[in-house]
Amino acid sequence: PKKAKIRHTANKNPDGTTEISFTPTEVGRYLVNIEHNNRTISGSPFEIEVVDPRKVVVNDHLADEDGIYQFAVQQRNVIDVDATAAGSGKLRAEVRDWDGKSVSGCDVESLGYGKYRVTYYPHQPGKYGIYLYWSDIAVQKAQPLHVVAEGEQPSTSRAMPLTNTAMATSHNTIRSRPEDRSTYEGNEMDYLRVILRGEGLTRAANNEQAEFIIDGSDVSKDGQVSSSLFGQKADIPVRLTHLGNNVYKAIYTPLIPGVYELQVLWNGHHVRGSPSRVQVDLHSSAAEAIIIDANTLKMGIVNEDVKTIVDTRKAGPGQLSAQCMGPTKLAYCELYDLQDGTYTLSVRPSEIGKHTLVVKYSDEQVPGSPFTFNVSHPPDASKVRVYGPGIEHGILSTYLWRWIVQQASFLMPKM
């Protein structure tokens, strides 16, 4: 998708065919160019669409603490699914009863922009399993979704009253047990007493779990708590866990970098600080985005510069620093700003032996740091011997273009 070449392997089969395999690193469209004897074969390049069913997110806030959906018989029940990050494909769903037989009544509605709504209309009570497929590949997190259909309608609302007896850990909304639904007649101003705290309120790292705390310990009565995280490309399910005394831990894992809007509601009202802006970065820290060419940091010559390039363009604002320690003292380090987000790092060691180079960005070590390399004396050309037929006279038709370089020192000379 980013027009970068992907490593592949080609294995010849006994029947004369060749099997070409590669491992895609991200979803998107890939072009496969195949040549035989330096000539492109018919049909090349071939287009391959790569998808990732693991990135299909099922919004399970209607499931109970055991992950079971309570559906009503003879009524329309819905489950929202977000496949924004799963690549170009189509969602398919099928329902089977407890005996494994396929049953009807399930439909998938596309809401656009990779979002879907699965609806199921159970005709009779019982236990069912909803199986989801993305581009006809099984979504492992939905193999299956367990459903119990009852004759009496369970609550299918997206928010239910909460009491201290609530046991559910779910996405978006913590719900009470059915017998506690009438216990809340609280003060409408209680939501002003709820306090939000935690780093997850303002920032998070892509593909890493973030969390924050919803503290309602000063609220006089139990209430209904819900949280949602909305983005331009995808919505992120927020899982709420009741810690007791009206205090809840909210956890979410973003799959796409960008800016999101976080909403926290108490009895349908925004608490203080809601809605808020959440920045999801590709890396958890700016230092992780620094790129250093470590190929030139393998070895060094005493009193000669060891140079490399440091790329900070993806890291954003910050301070770059470097320090190199030899066996007994610091080596001279200097950073040259190339005015394009990259720097030349120059190290001049003044003693032989093992050196340790530490590179930091905003006081955090960059990937690969600390780097270690050995510093030796410069090679002695007088100890190098070159011999062989390639440096002697001969006849052209039988001439061997080959010679041997023998060194007394382990250091390779500069050629």
User: What sign has the CA pseudo-torsion 220, 222, 226, 227?
Assistant: positive
Amino acid identity for residue 10 in this structure: A
Mean pLDDT of the region 385-404: 72
Mean pLDDT of the region 133-137: 89
At residue 181 the predicted structure's pLDDT band, cuts being 50, 70 and 90, is: very low
What whole-number distance in Å separates Cα of residue 299 and Cα of residue 343?
A: 20
Q: What are the distances in angstroms from CA 144 to CA 80, 85, 100, 130?
A: 15, 21, 11, 5
pLDDT tens for 68-102 read 888 989 888 999 898 888 888 899 999 988 877 88
pLDDT tens for 306-323 read 999 998 887 777 888 999
Structural domains of the chain sorted by starting position, each given as residue range(s) with its CATH number in brackets = 8-50 (2.60.40.10), 54-150 (2.60.40.10), 194-281 (2.60.40.10), 286-376 (2.60.40.10)
Q: What is the DSSP letter of 340?
A: S
Mean pLDDT of the region 271-283: 82
> Can you say how many angstroms the Cα of residue 18 is from the centroid of all Cα atoms in its chain?
34
